[in-house]
Amino acid sequence: MSTAENIKRHWLAELNLGFEYDGRRTILSERKHVGPLIIQKPFYPEGEVCHVYLIHPPGGIVGGDELNLNVKVKKNAHSLITTPAATKFYSGNNFQAKQVQNIYVESNGSAEWLPQETIFFSGCEASTKTNIQLEDDAKFIGWEIVCLGRPASNEEFDQGYCRQTIEVWRNKKPLVIERSLLQGSDELLSAIWGMQNFVVMGTMIVTDANKDVLNIVREKIESLQLNDNKIRISSTLINDVLICRALANQAEIARESFISIWKSLRPDIMQRQAVAPRIWYT
């Protein structure tokens, strides 16, 4: 197959979403897409907050595919975006697969980016980037959970690579810039200073945090890790940004731990009790 023919087989998809507060609740004011990246409809399990589920109909991403999500949350609006299932990057074909999320939040807006895990199959060549731009007092809670290979099927991540970038900015000044490169069979995956043979890595970022929130989270982490050698979680506060990191041997364990932490801190950060998207339990 020629290069030109192969390129035609790739999925190039883009989804633009806009959220606006209409005085009663947050509405989906813009929805435009090209290619297979969509949402079905907004949900309102907690009244004012708009929940949406990001859907990629092909069910997986292969070399050469490129997915772009652009989100704008306007003043006073509050959106929560999640996914109905894990995102999967399959073995590459000498083309890099890319996924980019750009989320812009205006003053007094709130955004929650809570996707399920991303699975990188052995042999994939993948690049992901999540870029958060905040104005003034905009708020953000979000996480990224990476699973290397398919441990349940005894398939190790012994080939390929995944590059991951997470950036959070406020008024064009950096709050968090994270870059990682995970390569198949690299020493990092097993080293005591690296992933320690855990196959799942998670990063959770929360803005507008303080020492009281940090203490709440650390108490929760202590209970999650009690008598459990399947996960390691840490937390730190840098100015007003809380960062939690997790290593686990199953994606479900990392995801449920992050959900538990989210439930404990959301009332302080968003002034709302946590209402989990129904899709997480269906």
Mean pLDDT, range 25-44, rounded to an integer: 96
Q: What is the pLDDT of residue 4?
A: 42
| Whether the predicted pLDDT of 196 surpasses 70 | yes
Partners of residue 14 on adjacent β-strands: 34, 68
User: Residue holding tokens 């087989």?
Assistant: 9
- Given a cut of 50, whether residue 6 has pLDDT beyond it is no
Which SS3 state, helix, strand or coil, does residue 280 take? helix
Question: Percent of the chain, pLDDT > 70?
Answer: 96
pLDDT at 18 over 60: yes
Residue 75 confidence (pLDDT) above 60: yes
Angle, vertex CA 148, rays to CA 160 and CA 34, nearest 5: 75
Residue appearing with tokens 């840490």: 234
Mean pLDDT value of segment 205-230? 90
Could you tell me the two tokens for 138? 């905009």
Residue 245 has which token pair?
């990191």
Query: Between these two residues, 87 and 3, which has the higher pLDDT value?
Result: 87
Residue 5 and residue 129: Cα distance in Å, rounded?
27
pTM of the predicted structure, to 2 decimals: 0.94
For residue range 124-172, what is the model confidence (pLDDT) as tens digits?
Answer: 999 999 999 999 999 999 999 999 998 878 889 999 999 999 999 999 9
Beta strand segments in the chain, E:
12-21, 26-34, 50-53, 66-73, 78-82, 87-89, 97-105, 110-113, 118-120, 125-134, 139-148, 161-170, 173-183, 200-206, 231-238, 241-248
User: What per-residue confidence (pLDDT) applies to 8?
Assistant: 53
Q: How far apart are CA 62 and CA 56, in angstroms?
A: 12
For residue 151, the model assigns a pLDDT of: 80
Nearest partner of 243 among 226, 265, 223, judged by Cα:
265
Q: SS3 for 4?
A: helix
Q: What is the mean pLDDT of the chain?
A: 93
pLDDT at position 154: 81
The answer to whether residue 3 scores a pLDDT higher than 70 is no
Query: What's the pLDDT at 153?
Result: 80
11 confidence band (pLDDT: 50, 70, 90): confident
pLDDT digits (tens, 9 = 90+) for 98-129: 999 999 999 999 999 999 999 999 999 999 99
* pLDDT > 90: percent of the chain: 87
CA-CA-CA-CA torsion for 17, 18, 22, 27, nearest 10 degrees?
10
